[in-house]
Amino acid sequence: MNALELTDVRKVYTMGDDSEVVALDRASLTIGSDEIVALVGPSGSGKTTLCSIAGGILRATEGRVVVADEDISAYSEKELTRFRQRMVGFVFQSVNLVPFLTARENLLVVDELGQRRGKAAQQRADELLEELGLADRAKNLPSQLSGGQRQRVAIGRALMNDPKLVLFDEPTSALDTKLGEQVMDLIRTEMKRRGTAAIVVTHDERILHYCDRSVHITDGVLAA
Amino acid sequence: MYLALKEMARSKVRFGLLVAAIALLVFLILFQQSLQNGLITGFIGAIRNQNSPVLVYSVDGQRVIQGSVLTPDLEAAARGVDGVGEVGRIGQGTFTALPTAERLGGASETFDTSVIGYDLGEDGRGLGSPTSLSAGRYPAADNEAVASSSDQASGFDLGDTIRILPGDEVITIVGLADDAQLNVTPTLFASYTTYEAAVASANPDARGLLPNVLAMAPAEGTTPEQLVANVNAASPDLDALTRADAEANTPGVSQVRQSFQLIFLLYGLVVPCVTGLFFLIVTFQKANTLTLLRAVGAPSSRLVGSLLAQVALILGSGIALGALLYYPISQQRLGGIQLRFETSAAIFWAVLLLVLGVGSALLAARRVLAIDPIEATTGAGVGR
Ligand SMILES: Nc1ncnc2c1ncn2[C@@H]1O[C@H](COP(=O)(O)OP(=O)(O)OP(=O)(O)O)[C@@H](O)[C@H]1O
Ligand SMILES: [Mg+2]
């Protein structure tokens, strides 16, 4: 079972004046079930677009999207919401935490608004916080955490639903080099421990060695 | 619920202020509601809470008891119509009266006092008498009266005597009736003869006193409405009204009602506006959070549910707090007007404001539904 299979995926934005922006052009990509793939490319090349399509936030204009054997190409809005809830984890480029919830609650809210497993979810949140070295910060609000700690909470949030595929959109861009490497190390450890696949979007060549392989994208076109 | 409660717990001041604002508005609404009811009851309580189903005025009187005068011709015409069961005379005048109770220490002031004279009947409960008493008994003889209970403290209590000035006509209070004032003055229900004596004592020159109004009850098989129609058909100078119409058509009553209704309408708009705007602003402010939650798989229905739970909770608390604040005030008298905690009004307003408030929050709910999770992926988040 592959974590992700993109086949000839296109994403075309139609602008107000009927001009078209091709954000993703016939992209095909297969990611194994526990592979960590770096997605590298210049700004505006389509990295976020690819992740959004793989994660079911955005629908492709054309092509087939299969995540863990589930073909989501023709899913409705509702089905995509359910899919995101069950199958994928996200760490976004900027806003990742609910400001009025503590670290622990930021993990729990995923379950609360989704699958509602109750006790099991609480146990999982505590385990994750422990693993991420945040056990003593569980009751802190995001504003009371450092940038690196916040990013770790976001990683914990992304792992709450036991996803088959985790999408990291520039997880280290807001962190200094040392912290960035710590976070990448953590991501690799967590992914490998669980055997979960991941796409890590980055500009930073120095963190490529934390990934199993890298894929380059330019103007919406993929190249290994 | 989780998200809704956590958010409110973390922004106690913000949500607390809204609760306080709603509580204040609810307090004002309830206060004005009972002010209106107290005022109207003070004006026409003596009409509402007397036992005659039909009152016959002269057209000239313009539906003011004291202004209406029934000449013998008119009285005979009214008495002669079909469907009349019982008839009694009512005379009403406003007098300067001096309570003379000893506990007042002789230093009491005088009051404008309404004396309503009616035909006592065998048990003092003739037409025009108070429907029920809160204390004492009905008058059994001349110079005895039932007084409006709200003036107890001013020297109109059970056993007190009242002197009609000028002159020395003295009336003894033998019973009390709630909500029985006329024109927001102390009101005495006495025999028709007592009324005549009071007029004579205050104005020795008065001659040929006529009844102001006839109190009527329909005969078996006739409704008050039919009787009213029959009387009005008998003479163009007669103006018969059912008790409820007499009450509602007393000059001033409908104007008071209308003024208050305008005030209520304004409050009825302000509460949902405040609530709706508040939640709209809050929703805008946390658009980032909502987008994030949608992106990680929260169904929009859950987020809307959470919003509406907050609205209901805030409104509920505000209404409860407002009612609680109002309770002690409602036990007071305000310039001769008896306030009262009106449970049915409180429930009516609670339901109305809840419905309007939740309705107004639908604007915010629409914002929540319109959120596109894709915005969570754009670098700077929502609102870039
Ligand atoms: N909603 C949209 N409407 C129109 N064009 C869009 C939209 N979103 C993205 N695009 C365009 O699609 C292309 C790819 O955008 P995308 O956000 O995927 O780039 P990126 O590789 O993530 O860039 P960055 O490194 O700056 O985050 C860009 O040219 C962008 O302008
Ligand atoms: Mg991007």
Percent of chain B with pLDDT over 70: 97
Mutate to test the pocket of ligand 1, among A15, A24, A49 (most ligand atoms within 8 A of CB): A49
Give yes or no for B10 touching A (CB within 8 A).
Answer: yes
Strands A2-14 and A20-32, by their bridges, are antiparallel
- pLDDT of A155-205, one tens digit each? 999 999 999 999 999 888 878 888 888 889 989 998 999 999 999 998 888
- pLDDT of B235-262, one tens digit each? 899 999 999 999 998 888 889 999 999 9
Of the listed ranges B118-132, B191-205, B311-325, B331-345, the least confidently predicted one is: B331-345
Cβ contact A95–B382 (<8 Å): yes
Q: What is the DSSP letter of A111?
A: H
Min distance A85 CA to chain B CA atoms (Å): 4
- pLDDT of B37-81, one tens digit each? 888 999 999 999 999 999 999 988 889 988 899 899 999 988 888
Using the predicted structure, report yes or no on whether residue A88 has a pLDDT greater than 60. Answer: yes
Question: Residue B25: pLDDT band by 50, 70, 90 thresholds?
Answer: very high
Using the predicted structure, report yes or no on whether residue A134 has a pLDDT greater than 50. Answer: yes
Is the pLDDT higher at A206 or at B356? B356
Output the CA angle A128-A133-A134, nearest 5 degrees. 75
Domain CATH for A104? 3.40.50.300
CB-neighbour burial class of residue A136 (10 A; exposed 0-12, middle 13-18, buried 19+)? exposed
The complex scores an ipTM of 0.93
Q: Which positions in chain A touch B291 (Cβ < 8 Å)?
A: 95
Q: Tell me the pLDDT of chain B averaged across its residues.
A: 89
Of the listed ranges A85-99, B61-75, B98-112, B194-208, the least confidently predicted one is: B98-112
> Which residue segment(s) compose the domain that A117 sits in?
4-222
What are the extents of the domains in chain B?
Answer: 2-44+253-377, 45-246
Q: Taking Cα atoms as reference points, which of A44, A69, A78, A55 lies closest to residue A9?
A: A55
Using the predicted structure, report yes or no on whether residue B103 has a pLDDT greater than 80. Answer: no
Tallying the residues shown for chain B, one arrives at 384
Among the bound ligands, name the one nearest to the CA of residue A203: 1
Q: How far is the CA of B74 from the centre of ligand 1 (A)?
A: 93
Cβ pair A72, A81 in contact under 8 A? no
Cβ pair B116, B245 in contact under 8 A? no
Question: Residue A16: pLDDT band by 50, 70, 90 thresholds?
Answer: confident
Which residue, by CA, sits nearest to atom 26 of ligand 1? A43
Say if ligand 1 is within 6 A of residue A21 CB. Answer: yes
Output the CA angle B331-B251-B326, nearest 5 degrees. 15
Q: What is the DSSP letter of B309?
A: H
Q: What is the average per-residue pLDDT within B301-327?
A: 93
Give yes or no for B290 touching A (CB within 8 A).
Answer: no
List of residues 6+ apart from A136 with CB closer than 8 A: none
Query: What type of residue is B232?
Result: N
Using the predicted structure, report yes or no on whether residue B355 has a pLDDT greater than 90. Answer: yes
Protein residues within 5 Å, CB atom, of ion ligand 2? A 48
pLDDT of residue B384: 31
Question: Residue B110: pLDDT band by 50, 70, 90 thresholds?
Answer: confident
Question: Residue B380: pLDDT band by 50, 70, 90 thresholds?
Answer: very low
Q: Could you count the other beta carbons within 10 Å of the beta carbon of residue B281? A: 12
Total domains in chain A come to 1
pLDDT of residue A205: 81
